[in-house]
Every structure is written in C-alpha cells, then in structure tokens.
Amino acid sequence: MRRMVPDSIRALVLDGTWRVGEKGTEKFKPDILDARMEGFRVVFISLVPLMGLCLLASFFIADVILKGDAKKEFQGKG
C-alpha cells in the first residue's frame, strides 16, 4: 500500500478516520481495501491455529469438583 497510496491518505487509513467514498480517494479505494483484507487474513491465519491449540489443550485439564459444589440440602425457614 505504501507505493500506491499517498502518505496523507495512508495516515487517514492508519488512524481509522478514512471512510469509503471519501472525496479525492476514490482511485485508491481498491488498494486500501486490498491492504485491509490482507491484514484481516494475516490475523485470521495467525489466530485460528492458536485457538485450535487452546481448545486441544483444554481437553488435558483435569475436571476437579470443588468442595463448595456438593449438593446442599434446602434450609428453609419455619
């Protein structure tokens, strides 16, 4: 994106203040959206295996019943 989009527009995109259809940025819209989608793709590719690893690891955690979890008899008034 650095080579295709001017620094002023790039700064708006990185700040999160750029909006689709903004005047003067129409010709850069495809490049900006491609860069955003590539960013989402990188995050997805890096986080999905991590979440899978966490799910797999959760099966190895022992299920321990706490002392306070035993069934208590109802103590009513009267």
Domain that holds residue 51: 7-58
Whether residue 23 contacts residue 29, with contact meaning beta carbons closer than 8 Å, is answered with no
Evaluate whether residue 13 is within a structural domain: yes
Evaluate whether residue 28 is within a structural domain: yes
pLDDT, position 36: 86
pLDDT, position 46: 94
Q: How far apart are alpha carbons 68 and 19 in whole angstroms?
A: 54
- Total domains in the chain come to 1
pLDDT, position 75: 56
pLDDT, position 20: 79
Evaluate whether residue 22 is within a structural domain: yes
Those residues whose C-beta lies under 8 Å from the C-beta of residue 29, and which sit 6 or more positions away, are 20, 21
Cα torsion 23, 26, 28, 29: sign: positive
pLDDT, position 2: 58
What are the mean pLDDT values of the chain's consecutive 10-residue runs (78 residues total)? 74 81 79 87 95 95 76 58
Those residues whose C-beta lies under 8 Å from the C-beta of residue 18, and which sit 6 or more positions away, are 9, 12, 25, 32
pTM of the model: 0.56
